[in-house]
Chain A
Amino acid sequence: MTSYLIKRVLSGLFTIWLTTIAVTLLIHLVPGDPVQIMYAQSQSTTPEQLEQVRHNLGLDRPIYEQYFIYMSRVLRGDFGTTIRGNQPILSLLLVRLPNTLLLAISSLFITMLVGVTAGFIAAYKRGTWLDAGLMTGAIVGISIPSFWLGLVLIYVFSVQLGWFPVSGTNLRNLFLPALTLGLANAASVSRLTRSSMIEVLSQDYIRTARAKGLAEKFVLMRHALRNSLINVVNMLGLQFTYMMGGAIVVENVFAWNGVGRFAIQSILQRDYPTIQGFILIFAIVVVGVSIVLDVLYAWIDPRINYDS
C-alpha cells in the first residue's frame, strides 16, 4: 500500500510539474504581443507602461529564467496580481475555490444517486419497457447541453414557480446548479452502472446465491450491487474531474461565484497571469482529488494488489 501511495503521489507531482511548464509557455504561444493584447481594452497605456509590465512579468528574460522566477514565486504562494486592479491572484482563486468544490461535490452526489439508481433498475428490469425508457432518457440526457438545461431549470423553478432565487452563491442557491451539473453526468453513469450490473448478474456466484434460495433482495443488494459498485467507484475520480470541468460552464449560467466563472472573465479580459493561476490551481485540485479517490478505491477493493 505504501509503495502504491508513493507511486501515485509521484505521478501526480509529475503531472503538476508538467502543468507548470505548460502554464509558463502558455503566454508565449499567444499570437502577437501578449502584453499589448492584455492592455488592448484600456486605451490609456503608454509604450513605456507596457514595457514596465513586460519587465514586471519577466517577459523580457529568457524563457528558462522566466520559468524559474515563476516557480519560485508560485512555491512561495505568490501567483502574481491581476492585470486590472492589481489584486493578488492566489487569494482571489482561493476565496472562490470552496464554492466550486461545493458545487462539484454536490453534483457528484446527485450524479451517483440518480445514475446508479437508474442503471441498477434498468439492469434488473433488463429488456422491459422500464429499461428501454430509462436508457432512452439517458441518451437524451447525454445530448442536452448543460448550459441550456440550467436555463430551463431557472425558467421553471425560479421564474415560474419562484422556488429558488435566480442566481447567487449560497446554500439555498446550490440546488439548481448542482442538479444541472449532476443530471448532465448522471446519464453516462447510469449507462455504465447498467452494463456493469448486467455483467455481474450473469456471474456464477449470483446463480449460486439464487440457487441456494437466498432472498432476491440479498442477492441484489449484497452480491450484485456491491460488486458492480466497484466499477462505479473506480469512475469517481474521472467523474470528479468532469464535474470540475462542467462547473466552469454551469457556474456561468447561475452566476455562481466559483473559480470557473472567474476564469472565464479572465479569459474574456485576456488576463494571462490569472489564467495561468487558474490552470495551476485546477490541475492541483484535480490531481489531488484523483489520488485520494484512487487510494480509497485500492483500499476498498480487496482484489487490487497495490504493491505489484
Chain B
Amino acid sequence: MSERVAIVGVGITEHKSKWPGRSQVEIVNEAVQLALEDSQLNMKDIDATIIGNMELFEGIYNVDMWMTEGDGAYLKSGMKINTGGTVGASTFFTAVEHAGSGLFNAVLAVGWEKQDEGSSAYSLRTVHENPFLTVVAPSRAGVGIVFNKWAQDMLARKSVTEEQIAKLRVQASENASKNPKAHLRNILTVEDVMNSPFLVAPTVRYLHICPTSIGAVALIIAPEERAKKITNKPVWVVDHVSSHCGVDSMYITAPAGGGMAGPTFWWPSVDSIRKLYKRNGITNPCKQIDIFEFYDPCAWVLAEGFEIMGLCEKNQAGRLIDSGKTRIDGQIPINPSGGVLCTNAIGDSAMMRPAQVALQLRGDAGDYQVHKKVSRGVAHGLGGDFATACLLQNYL
C-alpha cells in the first residue's frame, strides 16, 4: 500500500434475533449514520463504499444494488464482498486497501446480516455437504459438526475440560452483559452451560455456540493525512493478512493433523496469525499485544484460539482459562466485547472484531473497557473463505 491508513469512524447497531419491523437497508443505514456521526463526516465525504454480506442467507442476489438505498453508495466506487464468516474482515481489508491506494479520501465499510429473513443453516449445508459426498444426516447443526471435531481433539490431548469450556462461556456472558450492542447479554452460570442440551453429541452443547443475530457494523477508513484531520483518535491499521481455506482444508473432509484428529480448519487461522506476527516482529504476543478479539463461533474454538494466538503453550488452554488472565481485568484480555459467542450477525462479525479493538484502543468501550492501558490490538476472523488477522495501534 502506498499510504498508511486509520479507522476514523465506528458505527455499531444493537443486535437481536428478530427484527421484522426493519428492512436490511434500514439496519445498514443506521450503522452508516452512527459511523458518520462518530467521525463527524457527511456521506459526500465518502468516496467509496465496500459492503459485505452473505446474500445467500437472505436469498437476495446483487444485494449491493438494493443497498444503495440505505448505504449512500449510489454513483460512488466500491464493491460487494462475500466470503462467509470472514466477510466482515475481507470487507474491512478491501476498504483498507482502497484507502491505502491513494485513490480515495475516505472509504466506508459495512457488514451486516439479517438472519430472520432466510435460513443460514440451509445455506451453510452446501459448504460442508458436497452433494456427491453426502452421507451423514443433514442437520441444522451446520458448522456445529466441525466444532465437535475440534472439541474431541482438544479433549483427547487434554488441553481443556468441559468445565473449563463452561467457565470460558460464562466469562463471555459477563463481558457481553456490559456491552450494550451485544445480542446475548444474560450472565450464565457454569451449571447452565454444562446442562444445556446437545447440538452435536458428544461435545457441542447449545450454550457453547453463538446465536444467529441481526445487526450491522460500519467503519470509515482514511489515509494518513486525511485521518489526522478527521479525528484526534485515529486507530492505525498497521497490517492485515488473509489465508485461504479450501474445501479439503476445512470442514468435514479436512485432513487430520496436530493431535490424533486435529482439524485443519485451524490451518488458515494458524497461518494468518503466524504471518501477521512474523511481519511485525511479534515473538511474545502476551507481552507485545495488549488486547485480542478472536472470532469465536464456539467456546471450544475460543479455547483453541488461545493456542493459535500463541498466548499459551499447546495443550495449556485450560490452564489459561483457569488463571483468569483473559478477563477484562486481566493481563491478556480476550474478547472483552463478548465475542462472536454472544453476538453473531455473520456479515458484521468479522468486522466487529477490529471495530471492538478500535473502541478499546480509543478508550471508548465504556463499561467493558479493559482495565489495563492498551495501545496495540490483534483482531482475527475465521469461517469460509479464509482466516484473517490484523494489527491495530493507536500510535504510529
Q: Do A and B come from one complex?
A: no
Residues of chain B whose beta carbon lies under 8 Å from any beta carbon of chain A: none
